[in-house]
A and B are shown apart, each in its own frame.
Chain A
Amino acid sequence: EIVLTQSPATLSLSPGERATLSCRASQSVSWYLAWYQQKPAQAPRLLIYDASNRAAGIPARFSGSGSGTDFTLTISSLEPEDFAVYYCQQRRSWPLTFGQGTRLEI
């Protein structure tokens, strides 16, 4: 099973600042990594897939990068609605696995 480790566990920033979230895989997942956003009492939403492709309707301030074992989600300038929990997920092999999440707080 591929283990995904996200860091930091919690990130405290202010609106307008840049956020950088990390996801490290226990073995190479090539570019088969996605990022999801989950707000309280809501279902997760796909943000980025295949490491760097924005999903439909996702603002350009969200970007993803990386390949192999190290990946980054960057939010260029935080909006109030961006404060949420972010998860990475790999599809390189079964079982599909998620990271433990990074909480982005004000």
Chain B
Amino acid sequence: EVHLVESGGGLVQPGGSLRLSCAASGFTFSSHWMHWVRQAPGKGLVWVSHINTDGSSTNYADSVKGRFTISRDNAKNTLYLQMNSLRAEDTAVYYCARDLKVTNWFDPWGQGTLVTVSS
């Protein structure tokens, strides 16, 4: 069974940094694109970032470009999101999601980790 487990969320001050991790199991991690998607409290879904299988190609939403960095360690079956210069508007549940066969569809999703940016 495919499992995605996010960790690393928490409370951080504006301007601070945080690194999220997503541990993958139950599938060949190195064969799948991966994504981060976030959801602010009570709001809708917003795609954040994408990475291809070997990490050589990445894409970002304009709202996080230059501040967030997606990466992966295929030997550890783990996806990362390094978040710098955090703002209050970055407060959200962050989900990692597997790509469905190089399609940019998200299936499945992890359970999410909450990031709160506040002083």
Contact = CB atoms under 8 A, between A and B. Distances in A.
Contact of B107 (A42, A55, A95, A96): A55
A13 B104 CA distance: 32
A34 B108 CA distance: 13
A91 B109 contact: no
B50 A96 contact: yes
Interface in A42-59: 42-46, 49-50, 55
Contact of A100 (B44, B95, B104, B109): B44
Main secondary structure on A side of the interface with B: loop
Nearest to A99: B44
A55 B59 CA distance: 25
Interface string A74-93: 00000000000001010100
Nearest to A1: B62
Contact of A96 (B44, B104, B112): B104
Interface string B92-113: 0001000010011111111110
B88 interface: no
Interface residues of B, number: 22
B46 A98 contact: yes
The size class of the interface chain A forms with chain B is 20 to 34
Contacts of A45: 107-109
Nearest to B110: A43
A44 B105 contact: no
Indicate the member of B44, B61, B62 with the most A CB atoms within 10 Å.
B44
A101 B95 contact: no
B97 to A, nearest CB: 8
Contacts of A94: 59
Interface of A: 34, 36, 38, 42-46, 49-50, 55, 87, 89, 91, 94-101
Given A44-B95, A95-B47, A97-B47, 16 more contacts: A38-B45, A43-B108, A44-B106, A45-B107, A46-B105, A46-B107, A49-B100, A49-B105, A50-B103, A91-B104, A95-B60, A96-B47, A96-B50, A98-B44, A98-B45, A101-B45
